[in-house]
Amino acid sequence: MIIKLYNTLTRKVEEFKPINPPTVGMYSCGPTVYNYAHLGHARTYVFADILKRVLTYFGFEVKHVMNITDVGHLTEADISDEGQDKIEMAAKKEKKTVWDIAKFYTDDFFKMIDDLNIIRPLVVCKATEHIGEMIELIKKIEKNGFTYIIDRGVCFDTSKFPAYPDFARLNLEKMKKGARVEFDPQKKNPTDFWLWRFSNPEEKRQMEWDSPWAPRQARGKVKGFPGWHIECSAMSMKYLGERFDIHTGGIDHIPVHHTNEIAQNWAATGHQVVNYWIHGEFLEVEGQKMSKSLGNFYRVEDLKNKGYNPVALRYLFLNTHYRTKLNFTWNSLKAAQKTLDKLYEIFEGLKQSPEREVLSGQKLEKIDKFQEDFREALANDLNLPQAVAIVWKMLKSNIPSYDKKELLLDWDQVLGLGFTEARSKKQEVRISEEVKKLVSEREKLRKQGNWQEADEIRKKINKLGYIIEDTDKGPRLKPVLK
């Protein structure tokens, strides 16, 4: 079956043709580990996970590489490639070492990844462990005539790459008239960006390295650190080669970060390195951009604390196409949680069904049609909303329960909802000692036949945020979704 994907490079939905099938080289821009991962990050990495799962489902062997940015990402890098290093700033603010900051937030990121049932990349590479590769790549770019040195570092001269504005459809004339944020007056063009920054002698950095470059007035070696963009080029080519298939990221990376990657890739190699650039849309919260100032900066951990299963967020994401903006609301998450629980219950019921012995030709055709429709939805630029609709259509059909179970298990290779571990995937209920004590007291009263007093304790448990269900195996607590 032909897989079609939207390629930002051409602004078209194209047939996917890997360079060396069945192998697919795929690079994902990873997090800058200076703060907690939030729901916007969650959507970006669920999207990349779905893409990888779909390719694997269709028989490809995906070599997935993702970076960890633990140095060089400046505070204004998304718009002007200026500002201060985000990791260094976080270290000063939290009074920790930069290494402690990077490790803490990297661990937090991977905790989110695991909570969302995202398959970890085959290769996870840290920027700080690839400084040598970045220096060598900058040397190549320098040798090919695309750089110049000013007081603060080594710059990429975007005027030497005529195709620079093409990827993001940039209006360079408008930028020259001052539409972009202020830039270093020594830079030749507003779009020129840092390949290597010299450390400011007046501000001691924790992360800095020797390099072949220094300001002209400097005597001897000057320590410095890499720019944000060079790390992705250096590490993607190290692990995937100078030509590979797919690069993923959020649409916010298109105007600067990915545009700069393309420029420096070309400057170093003389050709386009990546064939398919695939981007996921933004996530908003209650119709607004997520920010701490608006009080709508949410993490997956916040969802768990309110009693939600993180996989419910994954299910919510599946119902909106990756190229469509998604508006997160608590009501939509609550609905996703209820639907996911219903799916788990259905699957548990299907697991009890005996293996069928005979299947009519008509039902066999139905099963084949469901399978074909599901695969076509995936192959059509990852149309997961349509695929989810097919799941429900199949479950409501009259095909045997055994076949429903088998299809659900097969399709979950892509959906990643964890049906084979449905019970364990349910959110663990965090129960306080106070609630545990009340449950124990209620059980004693019930055994004594004191039903009225037991019911009063039930009401207290409800007020503390839990629903108590009496089962053959004893009381079971469920959090009240907030």
Task: State the Cα–Cα distance between residues 66 and 269, nearest whole angstrom.
Answer: 21
What pLDDT, on a 0 to 100 scale, did the predictor assign at position 175?
A: 67
Which residue in 221, 210, 157, 160 sits closest to 186, CA to CA?
Answer: 157
**For 350-392, what is each residue's pLDDT tens digit?**
988 887 767 778 888 999 999 999 999 999 999 999 999 999 9
- Count of CA atoms in the C-beta half-sphere (13 A) of 201: 7
- The model's confidence at residue 430, banded by pLDDT at 50, 70 and 90, is low
Per-residue CA distances from 119 to 51, 112, 286, 384 (Å)? 11, 11, 29, 18
Give pTM, 2 decimals. Answer: 0.88
**For 118-137, what is each residue's pLDDT tens digit?**
999 999 999 999 999 999 99
Asked if 247 and 276 touch (Cβ cutoff 8 Å), the reply is: yes
3-state class of 185 per DSSP?
A: coil
The single residue listed with the structure tokens 């009693």 is 307
* Angle formed at CA 200 by CA 198 and CA 204, multiple of 5 degrees: 115
**For 60-83, what is each residue's pLDDT tens digit?**
999 999 999 999 998 888 887 888
The single residue listed with the structure tokens 């074909």 is 372
Task: State the Cα–Cα distance between residues 28 and 66, nearest whole angstrom.
Answer: 5
Asked if 102 and 156 touch (Cβ cutoff 8 Å), the reply is: no
Per-residue CA distances from 238 to 67, 130, 232 (Å)? 12, 9, 10
Question: Which H helix or E strand runs over 267?
Answer: helix 259-269
- The model's confidence at residue 425, banded by pLDDT at 50, 70 and 90, is very low
What pLDDT, on a 0 to 100 scale, did the predictor assign at position 373?
A: 98
Asked if 23 and 61 touch (Cβ cutoff 8 Å), the reply is: yes
**For 234-260, what is each residue's pLDDT tens digit?**
999 999 999 999 999 999 999 999 999
